[in-house]
């Protein structure tokens, strides 16, 4: 017979901070923090973000935008799928807490804070921070700007096909299909017959006819596994010699990859020029590589 080990209530205790375990100084995030400090990253970012915050000194202080950007970096480097996952990872890791300058007894930012900060900062601020990052990469020899690659992917939108409404009649999708089935002589209460009718109906699932009111920018399209869902198409232009991302955008899910490709490559060239302190019309790119869809 075995006994049940119940979780005991933790009594209050005191431990000197000097006795708390420390993360190794050779970790990736400590090296990254040293690099950012050498570039004056925090000071420059706070200067860029300052106009978006009230300077009255009253009320609860907002989250440091440097902490927000560092958390975004954690999400990128660790390929985390969501803001909730980023927040959980940052709260759980001692080395990342040190990277964010948070003590063990401090609560790291919640995932809901990401939405507030993202909406607070303008697109111009994000672009200037991006250029600041490219300048840092160039100073470390991680930006050549000679050979570029361009490719897109697919991400599922936070929107459901079931919530689609017709742009003209504002009917829900299934109500619309049942009405069409009834007009074709099919019993609208016969679910199997209505589904069969919908399966063979031409022109269904058109983005010109349907929209999700909760996310009007999301489009009906194919996911990576071939299923139909509401999607977006993120695209990145990369320096092939170093792997540095020099331009990135999120396109509608129904946009063709090759559309305005030249414009996006020229925008990448301008980003490279700004990082190098060159004139915007300077040409350094020799080759651009894409897959056959482009």
Residue 105 has pLDDT above 60, yes or no: yes
Give the tens place of pLDDT for each residue, 50-62: 998 877 666 677 8
Contact 228, 161 (CB under 8 A): yes
Do 87 and 204 belong to one domain?
no
The upper half-sphere exposure of residue 45, i.e. CA atoms within 13 Å in the direction of its Cβ, equals 19
Top-confidence residue, 81 or 58: 81
pLDDT over 90 for what percent of the chain?
A: 56
Average model confidence (pLDDT) for the chain? Answer: 88
* Domain-located, residue 166: yes
Burial class (CB in 10 A: 0-12, 13-18, 19+), 162: exposed
The pTM score is 0.78
* Cα 274 off chain centre by: 24
Does 174 lie in the same domain as 148? no
Q: What value does the mean pLDDT take over residues 281-289?
A: 95
Residue at a domain's end among 228, 243, 269: 228
Do 149 and 280 share a domain, yes or no?
Answer: yes
Please give the pLDDT value at position 290.
95
Residues paired with residue 288 on neighbouring β-strands, in sequence order: 148
What digits encode the pLDDT tens for the residues 131-154?
A: 999 999 999 999 999 999 999 999
Confidence at 25, pLDDT banded by 50, 70, 90? low
Alpha helices in 19-82 (DSSP H): 28-38, 41-49, 65-77
**Tokens coding 118:** 């993202």
> Is it the case that residue 168 has pLDDT exceeding 80?
yes
Strands 287-289 and 147-152: parallel
Instruction: Read off the tokens for 117.
Output: 């900060």
Both 278 and 151 in a single domain?
yes
Return the H-helix or E-strand segment holding 271.
helix 261-276
- Give the relative orientation of helices 261-276 and 123-139 as an angle to the nearest 10 degrees: 60
Lowest model confidence (mean pLDDT) among 1-15, 51-65, 164-178: 1-15
Do 87 and 26 belong to one domain? yes
pLDDT grade for 20, boundaries at 50, 70 and 90? low
CA distance 70 to 89: 12
Could you tell me what percentage of the chain is helix, strand and coil, using 3-state DSSP and rounding each to the nearest 5? Answer: 40, 15, 45
Q: Give the number of domains in the chain.
A: 3
pLDDT bracket for residue 1 (50, 70, 90): very low
Domain check: are 92 and 41 in the same one?
yes
pLDDT for position 205 = 73
pLDDT of residue 218: 94
Over residues 227-235, mean pLDDT: 91
Which residues span the domain enclosing 208? 161-228
């Amino acid at each position: 017979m075995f006994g049940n080990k119940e979780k005991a209530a933790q009594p209050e205790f005191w431990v000197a901070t000097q006795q708390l375990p420390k993360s190794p100084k050779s970790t990736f995030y400590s090296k990254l923090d040293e690099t950012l400090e050498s570039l004056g990253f925090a000071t420059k970012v706070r200067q860029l973000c300052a106009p978006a915050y009230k300077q009255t000194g009253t009320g609860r202080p907002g989250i440091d935008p440097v902490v927000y950007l560092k958390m975004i970096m954690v999400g990128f480097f660790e390929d985390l799928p969501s803001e909730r996952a980023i927040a959980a990872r940052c709260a759980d890791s001692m080395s990342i807490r040190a990277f964010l300058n948070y003590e063990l007894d401090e609560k790291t930012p919640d995932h809901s804070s990401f939405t507030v900060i993202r909406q607070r900062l303008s697109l111009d601020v994000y672009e200037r921070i991006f250029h600041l990052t490219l300048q840092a990469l160039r100073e470390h020899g991680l930006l050549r700007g000679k050979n570029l690659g361009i490719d897109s992917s697919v991400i599922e939108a936070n929107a459901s096909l079931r919530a689609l409404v017709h742009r003209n009649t504002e009917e829900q999708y299934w109500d619309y299909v049942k009405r069409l089935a009834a007009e074709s002589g099919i019993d609208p209460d016969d679910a199997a017959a209505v589904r069969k009718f919908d399966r063979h109906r031409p022109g269904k699932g058109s983005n010109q006819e349907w929209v999700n009111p909760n996310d009007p920018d999301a489009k009906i399209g194919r996911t990576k596994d071939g299923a139909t869902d509401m999607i977006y198409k993120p695209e990145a232009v990369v320096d092939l010699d170093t792997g540095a991302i020099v331009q990135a955008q999120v396109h509608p899910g129904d946009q063709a990859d090759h559309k305005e490709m030249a414009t996006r490559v020229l925008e990448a060239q301008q980003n490279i020029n700004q990082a190098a302190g060159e004139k915007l019309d300077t040409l350094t790119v020799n080759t651009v590589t894409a897959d056959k869809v482009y």
